[in-house]
């Protein structure tokens, strides 16, 4: 098992790093909007690592996706969600489970950033328990009709294309779940922005749907098969989420090292004090471990191997590391860490998302523990694998 980046992965990483320096940092300084950055990231191919050329991708793989996502997320954690919405939980389920019409209509538009995407799992009364969804999906013969409310929807305020999960019959629980592709430019689609603690550059919305019309060709998989579509999407999405957590942690370390080598107290740089060095060592070790866990999960996916357990471990551990490193960075910065003048207060706010978003730490621990105890195996035979979608022409 070798996680040394190959030539293509290094090229993608360098492209993302240059993009972050030349585009993301100036964009942050002038407080640009997320739509603009999604379009620019799509134009240079940052969302396309896991997609074949005919869908606007580079076919560099999931490990490359992780590397690119980390470089951008280090500059701004809020942009991390776009790597899910435009790729992992957005376009990829359409490639895996969508009709040819849906693939032709939506994948390239999302991957290249021509259209913005969002994914609608959570509801006011259904978060971790997806089988408890209340959003109603009715089969009207030549179309579906959708009614319900979704909440905590990243980029939901401006998305053009949405992947929405709902139920045909709540009594069927998981077996009643359906996944649909919805075009949001219709009067029944009503987003309302929700303010939040961190990741300010990824606006969150509550979305009400009243008689939203969806053509039959926009069904993902089959009626009643939406739960497995959702679960495979979430596994893939956790590659991006855990990568974002590593990126926040690394940003905390970078800022702390810089400050420790600039700030003097008692006649010497604070980096010379053993307690500061102890914190820096803890940060570096935790980040290295988290990154390797993420790379391992992404690598297994690239090899067509089951990776649900590995990505749960990576997501859990990396989320905890992000929060720890944000706290440690605040300690090193002292009073300045509490100031809005320094970046660590932003990292502190952004880090908490990685313990609660797209599978809470407790849910990840349940997956890991149930697998370890033999109650429920996490890595089951895969229904679809990445090599099925390779297209070198």
Beta-bridge partner residues of 161: 117, 183
- In this structure, what are the phi and psi dihedrals at residue 149, rounded to the nearest 5 degrees? -130, 130
* Cβ-based neighbours of 224, under 8 Å, separated by 6 or more: 168, 172, 175, 176, 177, 178
Q: How many whole angstroms separate alpha carbon 212 and alpha carbon 150?
A: 13
Cα-only R_g, the chain? 21
Count CA within 13 A, CB hemisphere, residue 44: 19
Structure token pair of residue 82: 């776009």
Number of CB atoms found within 10 A of residue 120's CB: 28
* Cβ-based neighbours of 23, under 8 Å, separated by 6 or more: 37, 40
Q: How many whole angstroms separate alpha carbon 373 and alpha carbon 357?
A: 25
- In this structure, what are the phi and psi dihedrals at residue 377, rounded to the nearest 5 degrees? -70, 130
Structure token pair of residue 103: 């693939």
Is residue 358 part of the annotated active site? The answer reads: yes
- Residue 126 per-residue DSSP state: B
Of 162, 236, 201, 193, whose CA–CA distance to 78 is shortest? 201
Structure token pair of residue 86: 């435009």
Distance of CA 376 to the CA centre of its chain: 25
> Which region, left, alpha or beta, applies to residue 314 given φ > 0 means left and ψ of -120 to 50 means alpha?
alpha
* Cβ-based neighbours of 269, under 8 Å, separated by 6 or more: 260, 261, 262, 263
Say how many Å lie between the first and final Cα of the chain, rounded: 29
The total number of residues shown for the chain amounts to: 393
Q: Which of 7, 29, 358, 393 is catalytic?
A: 358
Catalytic positions: 358
């Amino acid at each position: 098992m070798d996680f040394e980046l190959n030539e293509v992965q290094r090229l993608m990483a360098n492209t993302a790093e240059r993009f972050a320096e030349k585009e993301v940092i100036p964009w942050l300084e002038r407080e640009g909007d997320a739509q603009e950055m999604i379009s620019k990231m799509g134009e240079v191919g940052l969302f396309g690592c896991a997609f074949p050329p005919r869908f606007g991708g580079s076919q560099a793989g999931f490990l490359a996706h992780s590397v690119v996502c980390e470089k951008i997320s280090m500059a701004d954690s809020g942009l991390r969600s776009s790597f899910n919405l435009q790729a992992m939980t957005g376009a990829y389920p359409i490639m895996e489970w969508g009709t040819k019409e849906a693939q032709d209509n939506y994948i390239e538009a999302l991957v290249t950033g021509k259209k913005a995407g969002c994914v609608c799992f959570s509801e006011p009364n259904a978060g971790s328990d997806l089988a408890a969804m209340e959003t109603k999906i009715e089969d009207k013969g030549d179309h579906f009709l959708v009614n319900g409310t979704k909440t905590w929807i990243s980029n939901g305020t401006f998305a053009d294309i949405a992947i929405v999960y709902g139920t045909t019959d709540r009594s069927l629980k998981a077996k009643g779940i359906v996944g649909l592709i919805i075009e949001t430019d219709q009067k029944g689609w009503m987003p309302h922005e929700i303010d939040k603690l961190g990741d300010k550059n990824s606006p969150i919305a509550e979305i009400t749907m009243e008689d939203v019309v969806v053509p039959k060709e926009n069904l993902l998989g089959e009626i009643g098969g939406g739960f497995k579509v959702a679960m495979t999407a979430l596994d893939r999405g956790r590659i991006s989420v855990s990568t974002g957590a590593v990126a926040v942690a690394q940003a905390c370390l970078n800022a702390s090292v810089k400050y420790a080598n600039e700030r003097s107290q008692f006649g010497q740089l604070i980096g010379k004090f053993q307690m500061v060095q102890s914190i820096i060592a803890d940060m570096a070790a935790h980040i290295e471990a988290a990154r390797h866990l993420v790379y391992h999960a992404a690598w297994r996916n690239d090899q067509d191997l089951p990776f649900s357990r590995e990505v749960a471990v990576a997501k859990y551990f990396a989320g905890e590391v992000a929060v720890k490193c944000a706290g440690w960075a605040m300690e090193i910065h002292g009073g300045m860490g509490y100031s809005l003048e320094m970046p660590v207060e932003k990292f502190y706010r952004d880090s908490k998302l990685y313990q609660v978003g797209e599978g809470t730490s407790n849910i990840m621990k349940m997956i890991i523990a149930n697998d370890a105890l033999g109650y429920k195996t996490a890595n089951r035979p895969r229904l679809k694998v990445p090599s099925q979608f390779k297209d070198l022409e």
